[in-house]
Amino acid sequence: MKKTILITGGAGFIGSHVVRLFVKKYPEYRILNLDALTYAGNLENLTDLENLPNYGFIKGDIVDAEFVNGVFEEHRPDAVIHLAAESHVDRSILDPLSFINTNIIGTVNLLSSCLSVWNENMEGKLFYHISTDEVYGSLGREGYFTETTAYDPRSPYSASKASSDHLVRAYHHTYKLPVVLSNCSNNYGPNQFPEKLIPLAINNIKNNNPVPIYGKGENVRDWLYVGDHAEAIDCVFHRGRNGETYNIGGNNEWMNLDLIKLLCKIMDVKLNRLPGTSAALIGFVKDRAGHDLRYAIDATKIKKDLGWEPGVTFHVGLEKTVDWYLSNHQWLDHVLSGDYANYYDQQYKQR
């Protein structure tokens, strides 16, 4: 094998798409997926890869420094693509500490292990940190986030991600660790845990349950199909310049209410319901605390420097996503049990 790449968080939503892309596209790489299998991690996302010779899974917690060191000593990865994180803003409002632990301490543990194993020779090594546009804060009705926008995180989730970004850059500056970062906008697509807006709405519409819209539904997000994000990560991993940051976005801004209305139209067709049936389920609930108004990425740099741009239009991507959720009942049933049921009650009962 030419290279060993450790991908953290590979059993999660985006991570599973990245793992699949790398395992299938690069048979000469050994891909090791390190994941704690929290409520968001699901090996059912990767059953098609289980027996492939260039794929391996390691279960463990990146917060455990001794465990992380052991993995590095044993497998001596040439590169890390770091996606493992607590990723849901609403959960970070209920329980900030687990975000501090995984997103900050977990990232430092990985950085420190890279240093100790690569210390002799950093040539050809890379720590690729996957981050979010939320570190830049919230936009008004105009303007875009660029790679030089000042950090202004406003939720425990985004503050923990911002902190991890700073630490990655600090290790690059101080210890000359080869790093690259990317900050992406909202992803959607198959395998996303149904606590996030789009899969939550699909699941509720399917079951004739209310679709909760926070506040007035005026908040704006820039949506990117997860397959496009995985391709962008491939591109940054292979062609990104040492020490650089790349913003990744969909050039695809939607107000939440408009997005949900479009989704309702698609669901009516797919479920053979009369037009307007799904939209009748829309309900406005108490707003998210500190709810950021608008995120929008200026993705000029990655297009200009690396030649990446999104390939899947929103209508096509949403249809593919709806089709996937409507034909994967077992996947949904499995993830909806246990922890999620408790979280859903806690999150929505007061609203």
Residues designated catalytic? 133-134, 157
Residues with Cβ within 8 Å of 254's Cβ and at least 6 positions away in sequence, in order, are 220, 221, 223, 262, 314
Distance CA 283, CA 125 (A): 50
Query: Cα 301 to the chain's mean position, in Å?
Result: 20
Query: Cα 211 to the chain's mean position, in Å?
Result: 22
Q: How far is the CB of 32 from ligand DAU (least distance, A)?
A: 23
Q: How far is the CB of 331 from ligand NAD (least distance, A)?
A: 13
Distance CA 99, CA 158 (A): 9
Per-state percent for the chain, helix, strand, coil, to nearest 5 = 45, 20, 35
Residue 11 site contact among ligand DAU, ligand NAD, none (CB < 5 to 8 Å, cut-off depends on kind)? ligand NAD
The C-alpha angle 200, 138, 321, rounded to 5 degrees, equals 25
Binding of ligand DAU at residue 46 (CB under 6 A)?
no
- The overall longest dimension of the chain from CA atoms, in Å, is 66
Specify the residue, 113 or 132, whose C-beta has the smaller distance to ligand NAD.
132
Distance CA 71, CA 101 (A): 19
Residue type, 165: D
Binding of ligand DAU at residue 295 (CB under 6 A)?
yes
- Interactions with ligand DAU, residue window 229-288 (CB under 6 A): 256, 288
**Identified binder of ligand DAU from the candidate list 35, 78, 133, 228, rule CB under 6 A:** 133
Binding of ligand NAD at residue 128 (CB under 6 A)?
no
Specify the residue, 109 or 204, whose C-beta has the smaller distance to ligand NAD.
109
Tokens representing residue 54 in the block: 């260039």
Residue nearest to ligand DAU (CB): 132
Specify the residue, 88 or 129, whose C-beta has the smaller distance to ligand DAU.
88
Binding of ligand NAD at residue 18 (CB under 6 A)?
no
Binding of ligand NAD at residue 200 (CB under 6 A)?
no
Tokens representing residue 246 in the block: 């790349």
Q: How far is the CB of 346 from ligand DAU (least distance, A)?
A: 13
Q: Using CB under 6 A, which of the segments 81-89, 91-99, 145-153, 233-241 binds ligand DAU? A: 81-89
